[in-house]
Structure 1
C-alpha cells in the first residue's frame, strides 16, 4: 500500500516515547502503574497512531493524545482476579472464592506478609519448631481430638490419610458414598492417586455393617466414611453410622477415616440453619481420623484439617507428601485468627462473614432491596423495570444441599427484548467491580443476602459505570 508524502511526514512527527513520558500528566500514570508498564502502554499507543495514519483514519497524534490513549490502555489492564459483587444467592460460591475472611484473619494474614514470623522457630529454646504447633492446641480444644494437622485443602487431607494408611492396601467405602465434587473431581480418583485399592461395599442406597465386616481382610488399610455433603439419597435407604463403624474398625485393628467434607465447629441450628454434625461429634463418635475443610462452613481460608489419634497424626506427619501439601505462613496466620473467633461463640456470627450472611433474616434483606430499588432503576432508565421480590438462597460448596434460606432480591426485567437482559448481565460483568447475579424466569435476579449494608453506596455508584 502506497503512503502519501503527507502521511510520511506525519509519521516522522509522531512524538518520541521520552517526550510523552515527560508530560506532566504522565506523572500520575507512572506513580500508579510504574515506568515499565507506562512505557509499554505509550509504545502501544504510538503503534495504534502509526496504523491509523497509514489507514488514513488518524485524528490527533500529538504527545497529549498519545498519552490519553496510553491511559485508556492501562485502565484495561485490570487484574484477572478482582473483587465482584456476589448476588447469586449462593453464599459459599466455589467459583467466586467461597468464604470471605473475617477482619481478624485479614489483619493476621497482612501482618504475616509484612514481617518475618516464627513459622518453624521455637521462641522458647531458640531451636527449630513445627508449623503445625501454631494450630494444634486450638484445633484440639475446638474438636476434642488428641492431635491435629493441616494441609492445603480437604481433598489433600483425604489423599494424605489414604496414602499413609492404605498405600497398596484396601480402603473400604460404601458405594453410596463415592461422591463427585465440583469440576468432575471424584472420590474414586483420589483413592487411586493415593495408591489405595478401593473396596466398594453395599449398594447405592443401602449399606449394612455386615457388608463392611465381610470386606475386612489382612490387606485392609482403613475404612473410609464420606459425608455426602452435596447430595442426599432418600427413600429406601440404610447406612452404617460412624459410631458403629468406629467400633467395627477398632475391633479389626484398622483406623476409621471420617471425611466430613465441609465440616462445622458449631451447631448451625443455633443460627436458624439446618443441623449438621459437628467435628467434635465426629470425634466423640470414635472416628480415629476426621477430615474437614477450612473455607466452607468454618468460614476461613482454603485448608484441610485432619484431627484424631495422636499416633495416627504422627504417622501422617512423617509421610513425605505432607511437605508437598503444607500451607504457608500467610494462610496459617489467617487460619489461626479464624479459629480464635470460635473461642467466643457469643460474638461469632457478628465477626465471621460466612455465619453473618447465613444468619441474615429475610426481613432485613427485603428492607435492603426496598432501599436500593429506586437507585438501581434510575441508573437503568426506561429500558428496564426493577421490582423487589422473594427468593431462596443456598449455602453452597456442597453444604446442606437440600436446605434453602428465605431471602429477598431485586428483579430486573427488560421492557423490550430478552436479548437486552442478556446484554445487561454481560455489561454488568464488565463493570469496574463486576456484578454477578443470575437470569431466571425472564428476569435478572440479584439476591442481596451477601451485600453488606456498608457496601450499598459503593454498589450503586459502581452501576453508574454502565453506559
Structure 2
C-alpha cells in the first residue's frame, strides 16, 4: 500500500497541538520508519522534547537537569510590564532607559544597587553565569599576569569546565600554590614575592570535600599579603546569618556567605544566581566599585551580559530578600518546610507509604550534606511511568523502590502527583 503524503499525515495528527512544520517532521519520521500510524506517537515524543514544566519529586532542591532553582510565576517575568510570553499586554521595559532623565541608561544599574545592598558591597554586576563572572574578572584584572590558586581549589564544574581552562581563556596565567590537601598563606606569599601576581584567587570547592589532613588559608590571612583577593563562592549564599529566615539552618553550617567574605577582605566575590540564592541562572560579581567598573567596561561584558528576563527575575528575587520574605523564593520555601509538614502532606495523598527521606541541596552545593525530608515510597520502578504523565513527575528509584520526595514538590501540585501515581499503578497492574 502506498503511504500517505507527508502533508496529509501531518494534518491528521493536528490534535497533538504542535505547529504544522513540527507535525511534518513527525510525519516524515513515521513514514521513513515504514509505520505511518506511529506519526501521532512521534509527534507526542517531539512535543515532550520541547522545554516545558515538570514536577521535581527527587528531593534534590537544585536539580541541574531540572533547571536548578525553581522560579514562581511572579519571578518568571520582568517587572514593570517587560515584554514576555504571557497573556498580558505587550510592553517594553526600562532595561536601558533612565526614567528620571529620559536618556539612555545602563542595564547594569538595576541589579547593581540591589545586589550590593544584599552583600554589603560597593557595587555589583550581573552576567549570564558564574563561569562568565570568573572569566570576566580574570580578563579585566589579570590578563597576561599571574593568578595564584591553591592546587586543592583547581576544581572542575559540570560539563567538564575546569578552572585552569577558564583561566587560560581569560588570558590570565595560572600560578599553582600549595598542595591538594594543604595550602597555607605562606604559599601565596611566596608566589607573590617571586612572580608577577595580579590576584590571589580562592575557589570554594562547593561540589566536593577534602577531609582528613587538610589546611587552607582564610580570606583574612590572604588579604594581608598584597595582591587583591578574589573569591569564587559558586553556590551563592548571600549572608551566613540568613536574615530572610530568621536563623541559619543546621544544614548550611560552614557555608561561606558573600557578605562575610567581602567583610573579611576580599575585593570581589563571584557566585551563581540559580543555586543557594534561588534565582535565575546568572553570574554575579560584587565588591569594590572601581574593580566592578573595570569588569563592566571590558569588551567581554557585551558577550556575557544577560537579557531583561534574567534581570527582571533576579530583581524580583533580590527584592524578596530585602523584604526578608523567604516564602517568596521557592527554593527557601521548600528548603524550610518542616518534616512534620511534609509527613502530613505524604499521609494526605492517601497512596503509597509515607516515609522519612533525605533531600539534598544539589547543583554542586553542600556536597554530602543531607536535609531531613519526607515523602512516599512505592514498590517497584515507576519512574518511567511517572515521567510519561502530563505534567511529568520526576521521582527517584532506590533498589526497586520509587521514592517521591515532597520537599521539592510545591503543595499545589500534591494532587497532580497523587493522580500520576494512581495512573502509574493502574497501568502496572
> What is the TM-score normalised by the length of structure 1?
0.80
Name the residue aligned to 2:278: 299
Contact 1:292 1:305 in 2 (8 A): yes
Matches of 1:247 and 1:161, distance apart in 2: 21
Please state how far the C-alpha of 1:212 moved relative to its aligned partner.
Answer: 0.7
Aligned to 1:59: none
Residues 215-224 or 313-322, more deviating: 215-224
- How far 1:359 moved relative to its partner? 0.9
Change (3 A) 1:209 1:454: same
* 1:283 paired residue number: 262
Residues in 2 aligned to 1:411 and 1:395: alpha-carbon distance in whole angstroms: 21
Task: Report what 1:170 is aligned to.
Answer: 146
Residue in structure 2 matched with residue 63 of structure 1 by the alignment: none
Superposed, 1:18-57 pairs within 5 Å as: 29=15, 32-34=17-19, 36-37=21-22
Q: Which residue of 1 aligns with 2:55?
A: 85
The alignment's TM-score, normalised by the length of structure 2, stands at 0.86
Aligned to 2:98: 122
Separation in 2 of the partners of 1:78 and 1:458?
20
Q: In the alignment, is the contact (CA less than 8 A) between 1:166 and 1:221 conserved in 2?
A: yes
Q: How many residues align?
A: 411
- Find out whether 1:365 has 2:338 as its counterpart: no
Taking the aligned partners of 1:235 and 1:214, their CA distance within structure 2 comes to 25
Work out whether residues 102 and 300 of structure 1, in 8 Å CA contact, stay in contact via their aligned partners in 2. no
Distance 1:20 1:129, change over 3 A: closer
Q: Please give the residue correspondences for 1:15-414 in structure 2 after superposition, counting only pairs within 5 Å.
A: 29=15, 32-34=17-19, 36-37=21-22, 74-80=43-49, 81-108=51-78, 111-113=82-84, 114-217=90-193, 219-249=196-226, 254-266=227-239, 267-268=241-242, 269-275=247-253, 276-345=255-324, 347-348=325-326, 350-374=327-351, 386-414=352-380
Q: Deviations over 1:305-341 (max 9, x none)?
A: 1011111111111211111111011111111111111
1:103/1:351 contact within 8 Å kept? no
Would the aligned equivalents of 1:170 and 1:222 in 2 still touch at CA under 8 Å?
A: yes
User: Does the residue aligned with 2:106 lie in a helix, a strand or coil?
Assistant: coil
Q: 1:183 to 1:334 in 2, by over 3 A?
A: same
Rg larger in structure: 1
User: Cα gap change, 1:210/1:44 in structure 2, threshold over 3 Å: closer, same or farther?
Assistant: closer
Find the counterpart in structure 1 of residue 87 from structure 2.
none
Match of 1:426 among 384, 390, 394: 384
Q: Is the 8 A contact 1:41 1:73 kept in 2?
A: yes
| Distance in 1 between residues matched to 2:190 and 2:27, nearest whole Å | 73
Q: Which residue of 2 aligns with 1:418?
A: none
Unaligned ranges ≥5, structure 1:
1-6, 53-65, 375-385, 415-420
| Distance (whole Å) between structure 2 residues aligned to residue 209 and residue 33 of structure 1 | 60
Report the 3-state secondary structure (helix = DSSP H, G, I; strand = E; otherwise coil) of the residue aligned with 1:171.
Answer: strand
Q: Note if contact 2:82-2:308 (Cα within 8 Å) is conserved in structure 1.
A: no
- Would the aligned equivalents of 1:393 and 1:404 in 2 still touch at CA under 8 Å? yes
1:433 match: secondary structure = coil
Is the 1:102–1:338 Cα contact (8 Å) retained in structure 2?
no
Distance in 1 between residues matched to 2:190 and 2:10, nearest whole Å:
80
Q: Which has the higher helix share?
A: 1
Alpha-carbon RMSD: 2.9
Taking a change above 3 Å as real, the CA distance of residues 369 and 216 of structure 1, as seen in their structure-2 partners, is same
Helix, strand or coil at the partner of 1:223 = strand
Q: Tell me whether 1:439 sits opposite 2:397 in the alignment.
A: yes
Q: Tell me if the contact between 1:225 and 1:258 (Cα under 8 Å) persists in the aligned partners.
A: yes
Q: Do 2:26 and 2:46's aligned partners in 1 also have CA atoms closer than 8 Å?
A: no
**Counterpart position of 1:455:** 413
The change in CA–CA distance for 1:460 and 1:210 in structure 2 (over 3 A counts) is same
Q: In structure 2, list runs of 5 or more residues that go unmatched.
A: 85-89
Judged with a 3 Å threshold, the aligned counterparts in structure 2 of structure 1 residues 429 and 125 are, in CA distance, closer, same or farther, namely same
Q: Which moved more, 1:111-120 or 1:70-79?
A: 70-79
CA distance in 1 between partners of 2:198 and 2:267 (Å): 13
What's the secondary structure of 2:359's corresponding residue? Answer: strand
Once the 2 structures are TM-superposed, how far is the Cα of residue 216 of structure 1 from its aligned partner?
0.7
